[in-house]
Amino acid sequence: MSFYPLLWQAGGRVFADGGKKAAFNSPEGVEALTFLVDLYKSGAVPRSAMNNANLFTDQALGRQQVAMGYTNTPADAVLAEKAWGKGNVIVGPALTGPGKQVCFGMPGGLGINAKSGNVPGAEKFIAYMVQPAQIESMGRAGGFFSPRTDVTVPNDSSYAKEYEQALDHTYPGEPNPAARQLMALLSPEIQAALTGKKSPKAALDAAAAEADELLARQR
């Protein structure tokens, strides 16, 4: 949620077509990580960002150690307003890189375990939960937007309009069975680049080599 949006904005991808090899060490990936490293070296990204959780409270943004965040939820904006006052909170559009304007976001999902003992029953339950009435009800309760174009979830937040505009630029990522494991390989290499132990290209190449081995084992 920190590097991938920059990668996509630069026009890059996490996986090559087919998901069998890593693609984040492309020139676009190097450009994105170089941008992040430059921010870190200039002091614009705090050292705590190495292991920050994607939260507002008790993290750099909530502590006013940075001027902005680009992975914050509507609930974060409401918390910021309560803490700082409405006039001190601005929700801007999705960031635009040299490749395109894109941000990360994903619809809530309901899945069926492959080992479920009652797949037909689970399918009926999911079919019920994705009907308009349930979508609206869950959206009201959770503060989320509707994943369906034919369902509108009323939102009383003063920032709802700005977040709704970002939906046109929201990208859910690149699904892959090894996605989580790959992120675990990539994270320490990004840290190595930020701390100057490796160049952005060397760091991404090292992560890609490990990722390719991982993906080869998934076949």
pLDDT band at 219 (very low <50, low <70, confident <90, very high): low
Q: With contact defined as beta carbons under 8 Å apart, do 181 and 15 qualify? A: no
179-214 pLDDT per residue, tens: 999 999 999 999 999 999 999 999 999 999 999 999
**pLDDT 10s digits, 116-174:** 889 999 999 999 998 999 999 988 887 788 888 899 888 878 888 888 888 889 888 89
Instruction: Kindly give the pairing relationship between strand 103-104 and strand 170-171.
Output: parallel
| pTM summary value | 0.84
CA–CA separation, 144 and 142 (whole Å): 5
Torsion (CA) 170, 174, 207, 180 in degrees, nearest 10: 100
Tens digits of per-residue pLDDT, 44-53?
Answer: 888 887 777 7
Q: Which helix (H) or strand (E) holds 207?
A: helix 200-217
**Residue 201 pLDDT:** 98
Collapsing DSSP to helix, strand or coil, 170 comes out as: strand
